[in-house]
Structure 1
Amino acid sequence: MLETVLWISAHYASLFRAFEIFSVAVFTIEYILRVWSCTVDPRFREPIRGRLRFMVTPLAVIDLLAFLPFYLPFVLPDTRVLRVVRLFRLFRVMKLARYSESVDLFIDVLKLKKDELLLVFVSIMILLLVSSTLMYEVEHDAQPDKFSSIPAAMWWGLVTLATVGYGDMFPITPAGKLIGSMVVMLGIGLFALPAGIIASGFSEVLQRRRECREIICPHCGRPIKEEMIYR
């Protein structure tokens, strides 16, 4: 990220390069060790097929993409391809998810509420399509350069539903202003739904974790429910 600042890159290019090599070496060794030791897990116990299955798991793919861009310039001389490949270095940030309990909690929430979130997403897409089509019909004749097509009007619909309003596209006809006002009010309520759903999911997941948490008795080795400790 800091390499994109010209004066920083000019003064500390060698330091960035050394840090890059060190990071790639650590990630490469970590990946090799994970692939080698994955057979300890019963799911990947087979020496060859088990390792291949492990290599296509999401976390293993993220680990691979974290260091793969460093080696590709040696086999891909095309600079245009390399510019795209360098974007894969952003996957190094995703490696932090492996060590973060908060990220695991958030993933559990998304899994729990995936149906509700999908319903909201579909509702937003339907409203976006309907509002953009209506706006195209009423504004195309007045602003053919702005609302030239329904896909072009969808940009207006998106920024209006999200209540961003960049100001590059806006209705000027009375019917367009009426539709725009209704879309803004619907967008405020519709985009607030995911926040409430996710908040409810956090509450449910945390409650389940409290109920399932067990503490082992140091004397007999049996599990003790957490609520029994405070009695």
Structure 2
Amino acid sequence: MLNALDGGSVQGYRVHDGRLDEQDGWNRCLGLDPDATPRFTNTPGQVGFTGEGSRLVVTTKANGSNLLVFGLDGVGAPADASVVTHLPGAVPFASVPNGRHGLFLIEAATNAVATFAVHPDGSASQEAFAATGQSATCWIVAVRDLLYASSAGSSTLGGFRTADHGRRLTALGDTSANPGTVDAAVSSDGHYPCAQTGVNGTVDEFAVDEDVSLTPLGSRTVPGGAGGEGIVAL
């Protein structure tokens, strides 16, 4: 779990009988500036695992503009300290795994999708970069060899095809969504991406066509969902 305030922290849990069991000693402070403003761009962005599950990755957005990688031991406890990769001017926001040891990362300051390799020592290096040409690109979802990047300022989902283990990114064009496109997720079969839209509090559903473009299928209003950020799909 990612906590935003008081400098940011991550807290680890284990699942027992369908319930979350908070683990003592699995809390790690991120050491961010708690007074940095504006809060939205200076709280940590996202927490997640690399594809093979041995590392925990946190983005810090503008509060350091860093990618933090915690190694995990055999039972899942994070290392006492993270390995920090500084990405000046990038504002790393959301990420999704790329294979076992890589990441597709959104850089909000440059409005771009970047591919990063995470090395055995926890450091990370950029392998590819593609600008979205949109405004306020912050979130990303992966669908097989496709990526769709959400741009809140442009209210679009921008498609990219990946190749050569993510070292090549090819832009596929943009699909309009409702205002304020934020987090996105995809159905378990990989056919139906959904995008959360923060202005009106809707969830927009799309189908991935044979030519990998997106066809809008409709929207559903979420009660009290305006301004929300965060979506998962089953």
Q: TM > 0.5 between the two?
A: no
* More RCO (CA 8 Å, sep 6+): 1
More helix, by proportion: 1
More strand, by proportion: 2
TM-score by length of 2: 0.19
TM-score by length of 1: 0.19
Greater Rg, structure 1 or structure 2? 1
